[in-house]
Structure 1
Amino acid sequence: MHRDQALGRAIKQAQYRQHRALDTALATVGTTLAQWDALRAISRSPGASARTLAAATFQTEQSFGTLAGRLTQQGLVERRPGHGRRIEHHLTPAGEHTLAAGHKVADEVLADCFSTLPESDRTTLLGLLERLTGNDGH
């Protein structure tokens, strides 16, 4: 296998392992990785549209709309009319509680996922991935 293919596969394997561990652990606080990620996005951008939130969570607008509907039914998200036909998304108190519980779980899971790397390697890896994704501040 070519080096770049091996690198791409290793990144995908690490992500898959992390997602499985997060999904399993988040179930203990009554949510899923997709739901918790949506709650995080709404928390970061209260009042945002489905289009904005879909982009922030790497989903299609339709997929995000379905997910937001489930979160609304669960009492975690409130949808309100916005400007024009836009629907704004806000967390409810129950949504804030689930988000906070998810943060605690995620901190523990991710610390475990990266535990084999010393702090300096974690910093280096973060910097390299930020350069690859264009999030290095330049």
Structure 2
Amino acid sequence: MNSLQQLGRAVKAAQYRHHLAAERALGAIGTTLPQWDALRAIAGHPGWSAHALAGETFMSDQAFGALANRLIAQGLIVRSPGRGRRVEHTLTDAGGAMLEAGNVVIDTVLQRSFGGMSEAERRTLSGLLDRVGVGDGTTTAP
């Protein structure tokens, strides 16, 4: 394996460890990483379309729609007509409470993941990761 492949694998391994820790911790409060991320996106971007929310959460439109249906069934969000054909998503009180609980969990996971780094190291890592894939035509980050 060449050094670029090793680097790619190291990035993927770090992401996997981080997501696994977040999934386990969020499971203890009755949610999942995709559900928490959808609640975060909805709360942070009122009035955004489902398409925009799908992009914000790195999901396809179909996957976000299915997840939104599960969140509705759990009483965590509601949908309402927006401008034009847009459907807007809003957190219920229960959704807001789940988001807040999830934020505490995620902050703990992030502290474990990155707490051993200095602020300067975190800024450097963030800057380097922001450059990965830029200009290759495949980036989908919002």
TM over 0.5: yes
CA distance in 1 between partners of 2:8 and 2:119 (Å): 23
> Residue in 2 aligned with 1:73?
73
Structure 1, gaps ≥5 residues long:
none
CA distance in 1 between partners of 2:93 and 2:25 (Å): 22
Map 1:44-123; keep pairs closer than 5 Å: 44-123=44-123
CA distance in 1 between partners of 2:66 and 2:77 (Å): 12
Map 1:13-28; keep pairs closer than 5 Å: 13-28=13-28
> Residue in 1 aligned with 2:30?
30
CA distance in 1 between partners of 2:26 and 2:68 (Å): 18
Amino acid at match of 1:119: E
> Residue in 2 aligned with 1:9?
9
Any conservation in 2 of the 1:46–1:91 contact (CA below 8 Å)? no
CA distance in 2 between partners of 1:76 and 1:96 (Å): 8
Q: Is the partner of 2:31 in helix, strand or coil? A: coil
Call closer, same or farther: CA 1:55–1:14 in 2, change over 3 Å.
Answer: same
Query: Deviations for 1:90-120, whole angstroms, at most 9, x for unmatched residues?
Result: 1111111111111111111111112443333
CA distance in 1 between partners of 2:101 and 2:9 (Å): 31
Any conservation in 2 of the 1:78–1:91 contact (CA below 8 Å)? yes
Structure 2, gaps ≥5 residues long:
135-142
Cα RMSD of the aligned pairs, angstroms, is 1.4
Which structure carries more helix by proportion?
A: 1
Query: Deviations for 1:50-74, whole angstroms, at most 9, x for unmatched residues?
Result: 1011011111101100000000111
Q: Is the partner of 2:123 in helix, strand or coil? A: helix
The total of aligned residue pairs comes to: 134
4+ runs deviating over 4 angstroms: none
Displacement, 1:133? 5.7
How many percent identity over aligned positions? 54
